[in-house]
């Protein structure tokens, strides 16, 4: 295997790995948002059940407090993940651009070999 082929394979692997990372982050964000939405519904149901919606009230539901804290943590995680997702998307785009710059070069080299008479055993004059 030529060094250029190895470099091209490595770059393709890096691009596909970064794409998988982006997809994984998007999936995590979606999951966290769904969980936060479910927690919001559970909090509202608990507040409706107890009749106390004031979080500073002494008899406010401990379940609702804990669920509210969990929801806030999930939303903070979503915010952090979105920033990381934007950075990962930019990296993926940059890597894909680098890969596209490498691939045409190898294709052109292959075309030069074909035109020099190596294709099919025919010599072009």
> Which DSSP state fits 121?
T
| pLDDT single digits (tens) 11-26 | 899 999 999 999 999 9
Answer yes or no: are the C-beta atoms of 32 and 92 closer than 8 Å.
no
Rounded to two decimals, the pTM is 0.74
Spell out the domain ranges in the chain: 3-96
HEC string of 55-93 equals CCCCCCCHHHHHHHHHHHHHHHHHHHHHHHHHHHHHHHH
| pLDDT single digits (tens) 91-116 | 999 999 988 888 765 455 555 555 55
């Amino acid at each position: 295997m030529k060094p250029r082929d190895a470099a091209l394979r490595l770059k393709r692997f890096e691009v596909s790995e970064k794409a998988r990372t982006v997809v994984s982050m998007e999936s995590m964000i979606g999951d966290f948002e769904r969980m936060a939405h479910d927690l919001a519904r559970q909090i509202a149901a608990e507040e409706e059940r107890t009749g106390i919606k004031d979080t500073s009230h002494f008899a406010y539901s401990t379940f609702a407090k804990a669920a509210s804290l969990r929801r806030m943590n999930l939303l903070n995680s979503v915010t952090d993940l979105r920033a990381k997702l934007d950075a990962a998307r930019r990296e993926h785009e940059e890597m894909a651009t680098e890969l596209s710059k490498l691939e045409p070069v190898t294709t052109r080299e292959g075309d030069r070999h074909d035109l020099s008479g190596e294709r099919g055993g025919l010599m072009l004059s």
